Amino acid sequence: MDDFAWLGTPIDVRGLFRPEREELLTLLRSLTPDDWSAEAVPGWTVRDTAAHILGDDYGRLARDRDGYHEGPAPEPGEPLEAFIHRVNQQWVDAAARISPAALVDTLELTGRHIADLWRRSSPDGRSLPVSWAGADPAPLWLDAARDLTEYWTHRQQIRLATGRSASHDPRFLTPVLDTFMRALPQTLRGVPAPTGTQVRVVVEGDAGGTWTATAAAGGWSLAAADRGDPAAEVRFDPDTAWRLCTRGIDPDTAAARSVLHGDRDLAEAVCQILSIIR
């Protein structure tokens, strides 16, 4: 994995897909009819979001388990982000006839297969690009971690839409935040700094951690150890960190809710971090 050293120490989330799905199913089974109609993200209800998760399951199983590569493809000149949003919406529209009860039943089935797929995978393999981390191809461990963050984030969106608080269970939030911070080198890629300059990001709390990005000849990297004298440091609370990375809040709001030290340009650049395709 030396060629991916700039992404930092690999994360192994393969054992978390089954419990994450169990948490989702428990949540969905507790919803009222009004909850299913609540808006989870702009333009999508809770039911739509659950249908989207199901579509992600089927896509992953078809491609990585079954070797099946039919289905929608980008139009000529269509950017990746536009293609993904288009096919996601097409799936959600087509799934409108699936009842909430049927969605839950099917998500239980596909969730078992997803967990088994990742459990049998090799984290040292190569996989799909993770564009927000600048990895193309990406190490399989990062692709798996990216998938876990998507499932977790959609579960939080459903919780918030239905009057519940976000879950800060460290069992999931710790690897989710660790994955999101792998976007730091890509986030800082356009920020000039002398070689060796370090920027530290701290997420406070039991689920948090510390990440240090270092300017190197080929770009920013998470490989080097923290020397203890960063040019800038940003301290987030966990809620601000995950919402910023998924654009539940904007960078200015995140900066106002956080503590920024040192070089202001570098600290504000950190607050542009984005760990989803948007």
CA distance 63 to 87: 15
Q: Does residue 176 fall inside a structural domain?
A: no
Q: How many residues are present in the chain?
A: 278
CATH number at residue 34: 1.20.120.450
The domain that holds 246 is classified in CATH as 3.30.1050.10
Question: Would you give per-residue pLDDT tens digits along the chain (278 residues)?
Answer: 348 999 999 999 999 999 999 999 999 999 999 999 999 999 999 999 999 999 999 999 999 999 999 989 999 999 989 999 999 999 999 999 999 999 999 999 999 999 999 999 999 999 989 999 999 999 999 999 999 999 999 999 999 999 999 999 999 999 999 999 999 999 999 999 999 999 999 999 999 999 999 999 989 999 999 999 999 999 999 999 999 999 999 999 999 999 999 999 999 999 999 999 98
- For the chain, how long is the longest CA-to-CA vector? 57
Q: Residue 32 has which token pair?
A: 């009222």
Q: Are 144 and 202 in the same domain?
A: no
Q: Does the bond joining 238 to the residue before it have cis omega, within 30 degrees of 0?
A: no
Query: Do 261 and 230 share a structural domain?
Result: yes
Q: Running DSSP on this structure, what letter comes out for residue 225? A: P
Residue 6 and residue 27: Cα distance in Å, rounded?
37
Q: Dig out the tokens for 210 from the structure.
A: 């510390």
How many structural domains does the chain have? Answer: 2
**Domain span at 226:** 182-270
DSSP codes of every residue in 73-123: -PPTT--HHHHHHHHHHHHHHHGGGS-HHHHHHHHHHHHHHHHHHHHHS-T
**Which residue stretches of the chain are H helix?**
17-29, 33-37, 46-60, 80-94, 100-120, 140-161, 170-180, 184-187, 238-245, 251-256, 264-270
Amino acid at 265: D
